[in-house]
A and B are shown apart, each in its own frame.
Chain A
Amino acid sequence: MFKKSILYVLLCLGMFLNLGCLKDKSEVDISSKNWDEILKLASGTKVTFYGWGGDENINRWIDEVVAKDIKQKYNITLERVPMLPNEFLPKLLNEKQLGSEGVIDIVWINGENFFNAKNQGLLYGPFAYKLPNFNKYVDKNSSDVLYDFGYPVEGFEAPYGKAQLVLIGDTAKLDYLPKNHKELLEIAKKYPGKITYPDASDFTGSAFIRNIIYDVVGYEALKDIKPNKEDVKKAIKPALDFLVELKPYLWRQGKAYPSTLAQLDNMFSDGEVYITMNYTPYHVLTKINEGDFSKTAKAFIFNKGTISNTHFLAIPFNAPNKAGALVVINHLLSPSIQAQKYNPKTWGDLPVISSNLLNEEEKKLFENVNLGKEAIPQDVLVKHSIPEMRAELIPIIESLWREVVLADE
């Protein structure tokens, strides 16, 4: 008797859970509203900003400077929620499946995550062309705004900042800083065990491998390639061979690689290796200021250039406060914010707004930022930037690296 009744209760509960449908909240449609109306709608609301939360300076800047600014200017409360880079995707997927309202207003995104999110309809948009600052300051025809890892943006995200891979070497320990992959091999032979790069599963490690591929076979070789293993393998074979050749001179003879950039950074501060790398070109200054890196650390790039990419801000399809999100993203594209962000003391992130679209006063904001001699000037970086390859090629390259380079005995 007892058992049966439990069974019934469970059954009913199951039915309730499956049949129970969600109430559709009628939401104000903002796509037809003009900017003044959006500003009015956004005033007095709260905007939740989800982004990677692993950097003290960025966190503090958003909490203390940006949030205060936005409160004063637009009467919007900005709340930052820290996360690891990929965690919001499963959450949005589940919410999409049930069509429920979300909690995320703005999400910091790019590359594969954007590709997946947009493909599965998890993003609201197109919205970028609605933003006054986007229309005024951003070069809309530049490929790093039109494409995110080779995938068309189509206004579903607005640029936030630019990153470019730089290598960081300790000039006190290295005779010279390598200018291409061949010199890197020489350096590795000269200082066996003192050079390495993060594993392909690490964001920056994967970028470094792609950069070596560019340096060996060139960007053009991969531009129009089909995303299947055989074709990619054929195209990047010389680069894979090079990495295998480099392997015996690496830290632990290349049998193991630091699993994260964080680990490599710590090994670099400890003097266990002489080269590290970073996607934020001015990160080295922050690290020197904090005392983590020695004052002799210096950023350098290859003559053929290094990979650069843009990181973006997007609005989830079920963001509860889309008007507020638009206002905040627009503010983050303003010259004053972009200049603050450019300052290595705050962050050292490259601006996404185009300097020929700025007036003299606005240009000054950027000129006043003091970079220091350990960093590479922005115009040199821009000249040496190579676009990211298509997002769909990246997992293929990572698995080829694992098979050919890591597993090779």
Chain B
Amino acid sequence: MNINKILVRIIALLLFFPILFMVFLSLSGAWPWPFLMPKSISLRGYLYVFNPSTKILKILINSILLSLIVTFITIAISLPAANALAFYDFKGKNIIKVLLFLPLIVPMIAVTMGIHLIFIRLGIVNTYLGVILIHVIPGIPYGVKILLNVFELKGNKIELQAKILGASTWQVLRYITIPIIMPTLVVAGSVIYIISFTQYFITFLIGGGKIITYSIILFPFAESGDRTILSALSVIFVISVLAIIYLSEKLVKKIYKNYI
């Protein structure tokens, strides 16, 4: 019991230390080695982030909306795909299972270069729609894989039971499948959200600088090594992601209660 508690604390410390360190960095003016504490405190990072002329907050809200839409679309595609892979037998099923991981194996940059050409032809380059579509691609392997695991674990006996008793496909989905897999759905959604939120190159290429997301602002600072501003931007980044995940869990729990 005691050892467990200590272990939990150590792990928690290891997890939180980098974030805490980042918070310190974002508020520090100069912090040379070997000082344990920053030598001076500076709000430079946050002043830049909250300065209206940089439009960073507006871009953040825009990014959150974009990634939420991407998450819903990706889940809507992954859910039936995972269901089919788990419960139906068809020719080439194993090949499809492997192919699903292509977006993770083939570099997204190469894929996006090709898709960019097609999007130009379709006229959806430099638009919201284009960026949403391109963001769905790297999310799908995670979405399908996570949901596939839970489908394979839980089986579909309960669903079959309901069908035998006369439930429609929609009713089965709404009253049985989704409530059962809800916790996994939240996990998958969070992963997809974060993946979409952190895309840099594909957003730049397809969005063409017309659609500016938070990552587009953040990456040049990561490259230039301005630790104070980079940390300030990252702190806001982490807070926004945590807030979205927290809110979605709250929301899900509320909906969940109505079923049980």
Q: Which residues on A are within 8 Å of B, measured CB to CB?
A: 17, 20, 22, 48, 50, 52-56, 59-60, 63-64, 81-84, 87, 90-91, 94-95, 97-98, 100, 102-104, 260-263, 265-266, 269-272, 290-292, 294
Contact = CB atoms under 8 A, between A and B. Distances in A.
B113 A82 contact: no
Contacts of A20: 121-122
Contacts of A91: 116, 204-205, 208
Interface residues of B, number: 42
Contact of A84 (B42, B53, B220): B220
A294 B29 CA distance: 11
A270 B32 contact: yes
Contacts of B122: 17, 20
A98 B48 contact: no
Closest 6 CB pairs of A and B: A262-B225, A54-B224, A81-B209, A54-B220, A291-B30, A291-B29
23 contacts: A22-B120, A52-B220, A53-B221, A54-B221, A54-B226, A55-B224, A56-B221, A56-B229, A60-B53, A64-B53, A82-B220, A83-B220, A87-B204, A90-B205, A91-B116, A94-B113, A97-B117, A98-B117, A104-B209, A260-B225, A269-B31, A290-B44, A291-B39
B51 A55 contact: no
A63 B212 CA distance: 15
Given A63-B54, A64-B53, A294-B32, A53 B209 contact: no
B225 A290 contact: no
Contact of A103 (B48, B209, B221, B227): B209
B219 interface: yes
A271 B33 contact: yes
Given A17-B118, A22-B121, 6 more contacts: A53-B220, A56-B44, A56-B48, A82-B216, A103-B209, A271-B32
A291 B227 CA distance: 12
A311 to B, nearest CB: 15
Contacts of A95: 120
Contacts of B212: 81-82
Contacts, number: 109
A382 B210 CA distance: 39
B22 interface: no
B223 A84 contact: yes
A174 to B, nearest CB: 16
Nearest to B114: A94
Interface string B192-210: 0000000001001100111
Given A94-B120, A95-B120, A56 B226 contact: yes
Interface of B: 29-34, 39-40, 42, 44, 48, 51, 53-54, 113, 116-118, 120-122, 125-126, 201, 204-205, 208-210, 212, 216-217, 219-221, 223-229
Centre residue among B31, B120, B126, B228 by max chain A CB count within 10 A: B120
A407 to B, nearest CB: 25
B120 A269 contact: no
Contacts of B39: 291
A269 B226 CA distance: 11
A54 B221 CA distance: 4
A149 B152 CA distance: 60
B15 to A, nearest CB: 24
A55 B31 CA distance: 19
B62 to A, nearest CB: 14
Contacts of B54: 59-60, 63
A94 B225 contact: no
Contacts of A50: 209
Nearest to A16: B121
A100 B121 CA distance: 8
Contacts of A54: 220-221, 223-224, 226
Nearest to A292: B30
A53 B229 CA distance: 12
A102 B208 CA distance: 9
Contacts of A83: 204, 209, 216, 220
A292 B229 CA distance: 12
A270 B223 contact: no
Contact of B225 (A48, A87, A261): A261
Contact of B223 (A56, A260, A272): A260
A20 B122 CA distance: 8
Contact of B116 (A82, A94, A262, A266): A94
Contacts of B113: 90, 94
Nearest to A261: B225
